[in-house]
Structure 1
């Protein structure tokens, strides 16, 4: 059965994107990371938020463009209420979380459904379907932008630490969402 995992690279002060969704801050922090490589090998499908899908890929136009620096390819599902008029090759647009999760799980073939996007992650937490969180902490403070997780007034979410690893460019932390 496919697990739902939210993964992101985060600045030390808690941001996954800079002001205006800027992702260029990531470039000096990308590179060899065994924990990321293991995660990529476990992913069967991606469920992506529309803002993230439309966002600023720091590797755009290079051979590293795409999820995980171009290291992952496979089924992409984009959660949106505004699907484009023209189809995007290799991408399926879905209208609600339940539909997106069902389609991504079916496509994942038992592998992880990896959530990309803070708002989709928040929706998964609120729906009680998130199984794991993987955070790659980069040694930088952005001072503003999109938070890893933002749920004002929300209830506490308990996590159990599964693994902490270090690579030259980031500290990786893997957590299981506690029931």
Structure 2
């Protein structure tokens, strides 16, 4: 059965995007990474927030622009949105979290559903749906932007699985 994984690169001070969703800060740090390279074949579907889907691309100007993992992954994508969207091959749009998660898990089979977008990850965490977190720190201090998690509330316990990889305990 598919698990929901929030895998992301972040600055040392906890931001996944700069001010206004800028992802250009990440471009100089995109290089082969054995953790990411091992993860990609284990991803069966993406669950993407609308701002992330419409947002900036760290691969802009390169051969992988507009493609998941810079073109290193292909498969079904499920975008959580309340706005109408044009039909895009391989992309489904869902208006509520429960149906988006269910569709993504069904499509992923026994692989991961990789969550892209801080707000969708927060919603999954708050709903008790997020299974694992993989935080890949990048040696940059952004000082502002989109936080990897921006949520008030009780602490969430995590169990270490590997370097930077955690199981969500609740």
One fold, TM greater than 0.5?
A: yes
Give the CA deviation at 1:107.
Answer: 0.6
Report the CA distance between 1:12 and its aligned residue. Answer: 0.3
Offset at residue 109 of structure 1 (A):
1.6
1:178 corresponding residue in structure 2 = 169
Q: Are 1:77 and 2:64 an aligned pair?
A: no
Cα distance in 1 for residues equivalent to 2:5 and 2:23 = 21
Cα distance in 2 between the residues matched to 1:69 and 1:13: 24
How many residue pairs get matched?
169
Report the equivalent of 1:158: 157
Query: So what's the TM-score if we normalise by structure 1?
Result: 0.91
Deviation at 1:124, TM superposition (A): 0.5
| C-alpha displacement of 1:58 | 1.8
- Cα distance in structure 1, aligned partners of 2:159 and 2:71: 30
Deviations 1:129-179 (A, max 9, x none): 111000110000000000000102x11111111111xxxxxxxx1111114
Whether 2:36 is the aligned partner of 1:5: answer no
Q: Deviations over 1:80-100 (max 9, x none)?
A: 00031x212221000110000
5+ residue gaps, structure 1: 165-172
Q: Where does residue 68 of structure 1 map in the other structure?
A: 69
Greater than 4 Å deviation, 4+ residue runs: none
Map Cα deviations across residues 33-64 of structure 1 (whole Å, 9 max, x no partner): 11111111110000000000000012134322
- Please give the TM-score of this superposition, normalised by the length of structure 2: 0.96
Q: Structure 2 matches for 1:122-133, cutoff 5 A? A: 122-133=122-133
Deviations 1:104-144 (A, max 9, x none): 01111211011000000000011001110001100000000
